[in-house]
């Protein structure tokens, strides 16, 4: 019984084993099939939705060429070099230029701007001194009125992966590059089905003959899969999975689609935390030029990089890079893609990589912080890191670079050395803002005296008392009431003002002098504290604060009388916003750092246009302007008169705070507004007034950026009137022997004690009429 | 000494009121022209073009707009005149924001050109951005100087803006 059972068991086992194997086999087959289907679905889904995270690219304001433009040969050459233009005596295509003594010839590349497409065009730029004299095109285009260069890319906002690429379509890829890649990486690409057994054998043989690895066995399709699902895993299972994925890709997608994805995906270098992917970006990275402009030898070099981007790095390992390039070239000639002559010529060329990668990311950190702050209102971080947006900023590279280059030395020139014995603290710091005087566009920003400094951005974050910079707002408030004129006589006398908390406030003049009776304009020009307080208390502190608001300041202000002397904290950027309104004659245009945002293909998403709101009447503004031009001519900035001679008239105001902790100057010409702040981060004394510190730095920088003179038209109701040279409230002291001529509002006249208008001779009246024309 | 100071002062005063000179040779405007094809004060502002560009009313219905826009001379071509031609094209194509962008581009080159500010005011008016339009119109007025035709146009726009608000 037992035996039988045993034998039956044996019999059962004999039958059971094949069945089990069969079942296992079937199960395995099903599992593999499910695996295959899973892989197939996955690769189809992933590849169809293949969308790379593209960093936002930030551009400086494009350079405009036109007759009369304020631009010299050095400025233009610098811009062209930043754009990667190649210097050539014979200009044959886009991206080339030549520079002579008084002319620059160039062929622009064209660009899709938010306001339309700028065509690629040949232009011959003639200079006269520091300006453009004329623009000529070729025979077809003739005289040109206006040409806009491509914008220089100054930074980008990278995704967290650090991957960066410039996506391209297959049409954007030079045929030589496609051929080179196919020749060296996978020359049976167009005939295999994703994996290439013959290719593997051939590579094996080729490598044996060459005595090293010159050709790989995996197809471009396999390499693409490897790149897309990047993993360090090198197991057999992984290999099989890759092969299956490659097969799946080939079944569902065309060769062109696969090749295009490869051209964009492939890893071609590392620069810090930024990974260079795709050939288009690699061309910019290694050669500083667009892919389409590269000659055969450079394309061959790029085609050799996928094998080992670090090993063949053209800057770090130039010898290996050239050897690799020549291997690529020889594969091309062997496979008939190029002629022997092309091969010989390209092979003989020396390696010509760009000296350093185009400046990105860390270029202008202070300005970039402002750009990010502006963008944060409309775009979240994810959109900026992934959607490949193009951000067009208002940064003027000529102004920014000039300022950055000169700022440190300019600050050093005014810095007061620490007195012996006292502990030496941090060096004097600085911030500077330069904006367009009529549009409010920020042209340049420095958050420190040091160029490229990435730390504390003082232009945006150092909020300091503005001192006498507030005085124009006090004067403007007075002029706008209609009860005051430039000739109003103020009392520059000691005063004690009771405060709400039973305390009192006793302001003093900076030099502890008292000037007695002074004109309103004089109080501003020579920055008299007592006269300003006299005026401000009459017109009311709340009204002055209201003027600050109208001029564009939106920060906190305590309504104390000390506001009249500038005990209100502002950042240099806020000061620039306020003085911007003065510079544009009472039209407030909020400061902007971003002009437009487009998609990667140039479609306009947003545009941030000029704002313009009239916040002060033109006649008051004209009077204020006249007084502020006098700051340079006879006021606190007159020491700079000689240095600024040919740039006058300019308008501006010095600012100094208690114990010389902050040294300010804010001034403007016809084209630009500049604000300079000097101080210590720990709020120590600087030993500098606005005049001895910030004004000198301002003058140095604004001279270099060639600030233009003010141009003002007198409104129709301005009447020029004579007043006595000396301000007085005593009518019997009136002295009209050598009167001053001031712009007053028609219908207003100076007080009898200073009015010199009565008793005009006929000739004087006629002369007066002429003057008013 | 006093005399010298006062002469200096009056000279600087004179220079302050006499230094206006347009940066670009573009500030001349001639009386307005109304094209025959344009509808009479119904939908869009009438745009007259110096060159034979096809002018059509903007497709979007808008509030009644200024009937005429002053024309200016176009010889020789300047940055502003070139850009104004593009402004006209953009207006004709109904892309008002592009027209505004182009006007601003011209203003960056000639910031004291009253006509350019006026064009921008006009575009904002058509876009029904009345407070911006007023800001630009007032700035145009401040630069218009002795140009009576332009001053009249600007004042007309300001009147319309006051009515629209």
Using one digit for the tens of pLDDT, what is the confidence trace for A275-322?
A: 888 999 999 888 888 898 899 999 999 999 998 888 999 888 899 999
Is residue A74 domain-shared with residue A190, that is, in the same domain? no
Most confident among A66-75, A265-274, B73-82 (mean pLDDT): A66-75
Please determine, for residue A483, whether its predicted confidence score (pLDDT) is greater than 60: yes
Nearest to B6 among A720, A738, A743 (CB): A738
Binned at pLDDT 50, 70 and 90, residue A768 comes out as: low
Cβ–Cβ < 8 Å for A451, A408: yes
| Cβ contact, residue pair A741, B10, below 8 Å | yes
Mean pLDDT of B65-71: 49
Name A230's Cβ contacts closer than 8 Å, sequence gap at least 6.
none
* Residues A298 and A420 placed together within one structural domain of the fold: no
| Residues 6+ away with beta carbon under 8 Å from A214 | A206, A207, A327, A331
Structural domain ending residue among the three candidates A97, A126, A156: A156
Q: How far is B82 from chain A (nearest CA, A)?
A: 7
Q: Are A63 and A149 in contact (CB under 8 A)?
A: yes
Taking the Cβ of residue A770 and every Cβ of chain B, the question of whether any pair is shorter than 8 Å is answered with no
Domain for residue A393, yes or no?
Answer: no
Check residues A453 and A654 and name the one with the higher pLDDT.
A654
Closest in B10, B78, B101 to A114, CB measured: B101
Q: For residue A745, is the peptide bond before it cis, meaning its omega torsion is within 30 degrees of 0? A: no
Domain with A114 in it: what CATH number?
Answer: 3.30.2060.10
Q: Which residues pair with A270 in a beta bridge?
A: A275
Query: Do A602 and A113 meet the contact criterion of CB atoms below 8 Å apart?
Result: yes
Are A137 and A113 part of one and the same domain?
A: yes
For A500-517, the pLDDT digits (tens) are: 888 889 999 888 888 999
Q: Which of A29, A267, A316 is nearest to A162 (CA)?
A: A267
Same domain, A609 and A526: yes
Mean pLDDT within A581-589 = 96
CA A346 – CA A337 distance, rounded (Å): 13
Rounded percentage of chain B residues whose pLDDT exceeds 90: 48
Q: Is residue A115 part of a domain?
A: yes
Q: Among candidates B22, B25, B62, which has minimal Cα distance to B43?
A: B62
In three-state secondary structure terms, A733 is: helix
pLDDT recorded at residue B3: 47
Q: What's chain A's average pLDDT?
A: 88
Residue A716 pLDDT: 87
pLDDT at residue A156, as a whole number: 82
Q: A541 and A677 share a domain?
A: yes
Question: What is the distance between the alpha carbons of residues A29 and A646, in angstroms, rounded to a whole number?
Answer: 89
What is the per-residue pLDDT across B90-107, written as a single tens digit (0 to 9) for each? 999 999 999 999 999 999
Q: What is the distance between the alpha carbons of residues A623 and A481, in angstroms, rounded to a whole number?
A: 13
Mutate to test the interface with A, among B93, B142, B150, B158 (most CBs of A within 10 A): B142
Q: What is the 3-state secondary structure (H, E, C) of A337-373?
A: CCCHHHHHHHHHCCCCCCCCCCCCCCCCHHHHHHHHH
Is the pLDDT confidence value at A759 over 90?
no
**For the segment A151-170, what is each residue's pLDDT rounded down to a tens digit?**
999 988 877 777 888 888 88
Token representation of residue A59: 């551009």
Alpha helices per DSSP H over A364-432: 365-375, 381-386, 397-414
Which of A772, A628, A634, A765 minimizes the C-alpha distance to A710?
Answer: A628
State the helix-helix crossing angle for A541-551 and A529-539, rounded to 10 degrees: 100
Q: How many separate domains does chain A show?
A: 4
Using DSSP, state whether A651 is helix, strand or coil. strand
Kindly report the nearest CA distance between residue A333 and chain B, in angstroms.
50
Residues A400 and A434: their CA atoms lie apart, in Å, by: 8
Distance CA A289, CA A192 (A): 34
Q: Do B98 and A741 make contact, defined as CB atoms within 8 angstroms?
A: no
Same domain as A641, residue A518: yes
**CB B46 within 8 Å of CB B126:** no
Is a pLDDT exceeding 90 seen at residue B8?
A: no
With beta carbons under 8 A apart, name residues in chain B contacting A712: 16-17, 19-20
Q: Of B98, B107, B143, which is closest to A439 when you measure between CB atoms? A: B107
Find the residue in B nearest to A768 (Cα): B14
The per-residue b/e assignment along A141-171, b for 16 or more CB within 10 angstroms, e otherwise, is eeebbbbbbbbbbbbbbbbeeebbbbbbeee
Contacts of A630 in chain B (CB under 8 A): 12
Nearest to B52 by CA among B74, B29, B25: B74
- Cα A102 from chain centre: 29
**Local confidence band at A230 (pLDDT 50, 70, 90 cut-offs):** low
Q: What is the mean pLDDT of residues A591-616?
A: 92
Residue pLDDT, tens place only, A233-263? 666 777 788 888 888 889 888 999 899 999 9
pLDDT band at A368 (very low <50, low <70, confident <90, very high): very high
- How many CB atoms within 10 Å of residue A212? 8
Residue A281 falls within a domain, yes or no?
Answer: yes
How many Å is the Cα radius of gyration of chain B?
Answer: 18
Q: Does residue A370 belong to any structural domain of this protein?
A: no
Asked if A709 has any chain B CB less than 8 Å from its own CB, the reply is yes
Instruction: Tell me: do A167 and A147 sit in the same domain.
Output: no
Q: Can you tell me the distance from the alpha carbon of A288 to that of B62, in angstroms, rounded to the nearest whole number?
A: 48
Regarding whether A180 and A299 lie in a shared domain, the answer is: yes
Partners of B24 on chain A (C-beta within 8 Å) are: 68
A610 CB neighbours in chain B (<8 A) are: 104, 107, 120
CA A267 – CA A275 distance, rounded (Å): 7
User: Who has greater pLDDT, A233 or A334?
Assistant: A334
* A107 neighbors A91 (Cβ within 8 angstroms): yes
* Confidence check: pLDDT of A466 > 60: yes
Flag whether pLDDT at B147 surpasses 50: yes
pLDDT at A70 over 80: yes
CATH number of the domain at A682, please: 3.40.710.10
Residues 224-263 of A with CB under 8 A from B: none
Residue A35: predicted pLDDT? 85
Comparing A4-18, A127-141, A554-568, B72-86, the range with the smallest average pLDDT is: A4-18
- Final residue before a domain boundary, out of A156, A190, A205: A156
ipTM of the complex: 0.83
A724: nearest CA in chain B?
Answer: B6
**Cα separation, A649 vs A668, whole angstroms:** 10
- What distance in Å separates residue B158's CA from the closest CA in chain A? 13
Q: Select the highest-mean-pLDDT range: A50-59, A370-379, A584-593, A734-743.
A: A584-593
Domain of residue A191: give its range: 159-348
As a dihedral over the C-alpha atoms of residue A362, residue A363, residue A369, residue A370, rounded to 10 degrees, the angle is: -170
**Window A:579-608, CB contacts with B under 8 Å:** 584-585, 587, 596, 604, 607
Look at residue A392 and tell me if it is in a domain. Answer: no
Nearest to B79 among A145, A614, A725 (CB): A145
Tell me, yes or no, whether A325 and A438 share the same domain: no
Are residues A258 and A230 located together in one domain of the fold? yes
- The alpha carbon torsion through A59, A61, A67, A69 (nearest 10 deg) reads -130
β-sheet bridge partners, residue A155: A58
Q: Model confidence over A738-753: pLDDT tens digits?
A: 899 999 999 898 998 8
Q: How confident is the model at residue B28 (pLDDT cuts 50, 70, 90)?
A: very low
Tell me the mean pLDDT in the region A513-528: 94
Report the chain A residue with the minimal C-alpha distance to residue B82: A145
The residues of A annotated with a catalytic role in the active site are 185, 468
Concatenating the DSSP letter of every residue in chain B gives -HHHHHHHHHHHHHHHHH----SSS----B-----TTS-SSSSSPP---SS-------SS--S---S---B---SSP-HHHHHHHHHHHHHHTT-HHHHHHHHHHHHHHSTT-HHHHHHHHHHHHHTT-HHHHHHHHHHHHHHHTT-HHHHHHHHHHHHHHHHH-
Asked if the structure places residue A386 within a domain, the reply is no
Distance from C-alpha of A313 to C-alpha of A285, rounded to nearest angstrom: 11
Q: Which residues of A418-457 are buried (b: 16+ CB within 10 A; e: fewer)?
A: eeeeeeeeeebbbbbbbbbbbbbbbbbbbbbbbbebeeeb
Phi, psi of A275 (to 5 degrees): -100, 125
What b/e string do you get for A650-662 counting C-beta neighbours within 10 Å, with b at 16 or more? bbbbbbbbeebbb
Spell out which residues of chain A touch residue B17, defining contact as CB-CB under 8 Å.
712-714, 718, 720, 743, 771-772
The token pair at A527 is: 């920055």
Please give, rounded to a whole number of angstroms, the shortest distance from the CA of B143 to a CA of chain A: 7
Please tell me which of the candidates B6, B16, B132 has its beta carbon nearest to residue A629. Answer: B16
Report whether pLDDT(A731) > 60.
yes
The neighbour count for residue A232, using CB atoms within 10 Å, is 5
Residue B86: which of A116, A671, A739 has the nearest Cβ?
A116
Query: What pLDDT is stored for residue A213 in this prediction?
Result: 62
Strand duo A103-107 + A86-87: pairing: unpaired
Helix (H, G, I), strand (E, B) or coil at A620: helix
Long-range Cβ contact pairs of A6-14 (< 8 A, separation 24 or more): none
Q: How far, in Å, are A188, A251, A719, B42, B112 from residue A192 at the CA level?
A: 6, 11, 89, 67, 67
Please state, in angstroms and rounded to a whole number, the distance separating the CA atoms of residues B83 and B98.
11
Residue A83 maps to a domain: yes
Q: Distance between CA atoms of A84 and A74, rounded to whole angstroms? A: 15
Q: Are residues A618 and B142, on separate chains, in Cβ contact within 8 Å?
A: yes
| Domain end (from A121, A136, A156) | A156
Asked whether residue A355 is assigned to any structural domain, the reply reads: no
Q: Return the number of other C-beta atoms located less than 10 Å from residue A260's C-beta.
A: 20
Which residues in A lie closer than 8 A to residue B102 (C-beta atoms)?
115-116
Give the dihedral of Cα atoms A494, A500, A501, A505; nearest 10 deg: -20
Per-residue model confidence as pLDDT tens digits over A87-146: 988 898 899 999 999 999 999 999 999 998 999 999 999 999 889 999 999 888 888 999
According to DSSP, residue A108 is labeled -
CA distance B97 to chain A (A): 8
Nearest CA in chain A to B15: A649
Contact A439 B111 (CB under 8 A): yes
Same domain, A163 and A262: yes
User: Is pLDDT of A763 > 60?
Assistant: no
Q: Check pLDDT > 50 for residue B33.
A: no
Question: CA angle, corner A458, sides to A456 and A463, nearest 5?
Answer: 120
Q: Do B3 and A738 touch (CB under 8 A)?
A: yes
Q: Render A179-241 in DSSP notation, one character per residue.
A: HHHHHHH-TTTTTSSS--HHHHHHHHHHHHHHTS--S-SS-HHHHHHHHHT------HHHHHH
Q: Is residue B60 very low, low, confident or very high in pLDDT (cuts 50, 70, 90)?
A: very low
Determine the average pLDDT of the residues in B133-162: 94
Claim to verify: residue A649 and residue A606 sit in the same structural domain: yes
Please judge whether B12 and A437 are an interchain contact, meaning their C-beta atoms are less than 8 angstroms apart.
no
What span, in angstroms and rounded, lies between the C-alpha atoms of A164 and A223?
Answer: 19
| Closest listed residue to residue A302, CA positions, set A176, A190, A188 | A176
């Amino acid at each position: 019984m037992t035996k039988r059972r045993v034998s039956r068991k044996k019999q059962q086992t004999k039958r059971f084993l094949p069945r089990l194997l069969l079942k296992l086999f079937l199960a395995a087959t099903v599992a593999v099939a499910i695996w295959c289907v899973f892989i197939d679905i996955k690769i189809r889904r992933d590849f169809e939705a293949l969308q790379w995270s593209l960093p936002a690219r930030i551009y400086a304001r494009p350079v405009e060429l036109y007759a009369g433009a304020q631009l010299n040969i050095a400025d233009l050459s610098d811009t062209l070099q930043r754009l990667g233009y190649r210097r050539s005596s014979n200009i044959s295509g886009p991206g080339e230029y030549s520079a002579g003594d008084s002319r620059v010839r160039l062929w622009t590349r064209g660009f899709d701007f938010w306001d339309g497409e700028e065509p690629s065009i040949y232009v011959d730029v003639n200079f006269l001194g520091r300006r453009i004299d004329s623009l000529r095109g070729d025979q077809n285009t003739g005289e040109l009125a206006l040409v806009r260069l491509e914008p220089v890319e100054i930074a980008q906002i990278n995704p967290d992966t650090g991957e960066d690429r410039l996506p391209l379509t297959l049409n954007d890829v030079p045929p030589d590059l496609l051929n080179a890649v196919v020749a060296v990486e996978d020359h049976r690409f167009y005939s295999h089905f994703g994996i290439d057994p013959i290719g593997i054998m051939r590579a094996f043989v080729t490598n044996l003959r060459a005595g090293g690895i010159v050709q790989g066995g995996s197809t471009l399709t396999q390499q693409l899969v490897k790149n897309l699902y990047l993993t360090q895993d090198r197991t057999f299972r992984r290999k099989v999975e890759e092969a299956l994925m490659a097969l799946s890709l080939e079944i569902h997608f065309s060769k062109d689609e696969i090749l295009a994805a490869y051209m964009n995906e492939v890893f071609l270098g590392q620069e810090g935390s930024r990974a260079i992917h795709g050939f288009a970006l690699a061309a910019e990275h290694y050669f500083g030029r667009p892919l389409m402009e590269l000659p055969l030898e450079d394309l061959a070099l790029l085609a050799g990089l996928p094998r080992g981007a670090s090993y063949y790095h053209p800057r770090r390992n130039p010898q290996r890079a050239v050897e690799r390039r020549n291997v690529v070239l020889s594969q091309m000639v062997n496979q008939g893609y190029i002629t022997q002559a092309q091969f010989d010529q390209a092979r003989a060329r020396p390696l010509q990589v760009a000296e350093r990668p185009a400046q990105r990311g860390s270029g202008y950190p202070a300005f970039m912080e402002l750009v990010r702050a502006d963008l944060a209102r409309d775009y979240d971080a994810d959109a900026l890191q992934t959607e490949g947006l193009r951000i067009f900023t208002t940064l003027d590279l000529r102004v920014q670079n000039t300022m950055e280059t000169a700022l440190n030395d300019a600050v050093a020139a005014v810095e007061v050395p620490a007195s012996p014995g006292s502990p030496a603290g941090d060096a004097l710091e600085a911030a500077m803002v330069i904006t367009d005087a009529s549009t409010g566009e920020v042209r340049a920003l420095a958050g420190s005296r040091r160029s490229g400094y990435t730390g504390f951005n003082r232009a945006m974050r150092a909020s300091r008392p503005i001192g006498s910079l507030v005085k124009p707002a006090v004067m403007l408030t007075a002029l706008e009431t209609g009860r005051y004129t430039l000739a109003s006589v103020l009392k520059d006398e000691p005063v004690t003002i009771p405060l709400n908390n039973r305390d009192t406030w006793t302001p003093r003049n900076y030099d502890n002098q008292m000037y007695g009776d002074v004109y309103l304009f004089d109080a501003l020009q020579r920055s008299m504290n007592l006269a300003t307080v006299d005026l401000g208390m009459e017109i009311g502190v709340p009204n002055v604060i209201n003027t600050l608001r109208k001029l564009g300041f939106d920060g906190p202000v305590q309504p104390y009388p000390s506001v009249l002397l500038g005990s209100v904290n502002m950042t240099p950027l806020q000061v620039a916003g306020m003085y911007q309104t003065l510079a544009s004659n009472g039209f407030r245009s909020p400061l902007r750092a971003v002009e437009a945002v487009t998609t990667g293909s140039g479609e306009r998403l947003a545009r941030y246009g000029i704002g313009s709101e009239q916040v002060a009447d033109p006649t008051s503004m004209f009077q204020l302007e006249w007084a502020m031009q006098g700051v340079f001519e006879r006021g606190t900035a007159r020491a700079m008169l000689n240095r600024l001679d040919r740039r006058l008239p300019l308008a501006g105001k010095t600012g100094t705070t208690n114990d010389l902790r902050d040294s300010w100057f804010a001034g403007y010409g016809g084209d630009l507004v500049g604000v300079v702040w000097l101080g210590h981060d720990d709020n120590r004394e600087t030993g500098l007034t606005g005049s001895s510190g910030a004004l000198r730095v301002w003058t140095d920088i604004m001279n270099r950026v060639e600030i233009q003179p003010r141009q003002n038209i007198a409104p129709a109701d301005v009447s020029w009137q004579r007043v006595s040279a000396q301000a007085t409230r005593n009518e019997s002291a009136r002295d009209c022997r050598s009167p001053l001529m001031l712009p007053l509002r028609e219908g207003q006249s100076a007080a009898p004690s200073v009015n010199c208008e009565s008793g005009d001779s006929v000739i004087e009246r006629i002369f007066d009429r002429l003057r008013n024309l | 000494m006093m005399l010298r100071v006062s002469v200096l002062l009056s000279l600087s005063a004179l220079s302050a009121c006499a230094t206006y000179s347009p940066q670009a040779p573009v500030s001349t405007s001639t009386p307005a022209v109304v094209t025959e094809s344009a509808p009479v004060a119904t939908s869009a502002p009438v745009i007259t073009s110096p060159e034979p560009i096809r002018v059509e009313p903007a497709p979007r219905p808008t509030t009644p707009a200024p009937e005429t826009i002053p024309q200016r001379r176009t010889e020789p071509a300047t940055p502003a005149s070139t850009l104004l031609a593009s402004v006209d094209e953009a207006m004709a194509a109904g892309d008002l924001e592009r027209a505004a962008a182009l006007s601003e581009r011209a203003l960056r080159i000639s910031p004291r050109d009253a006509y350019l500010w006026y064009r921008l005011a006009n575009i904002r008016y058509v876009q029904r951005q009345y407070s911006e339009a007023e800001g630009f119109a007032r700035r145009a007025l401040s630069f218009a100087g002795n140009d009576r035709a332009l001053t009249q146009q600007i004042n007309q726009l300001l009147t319309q803006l006051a009515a629209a608000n």
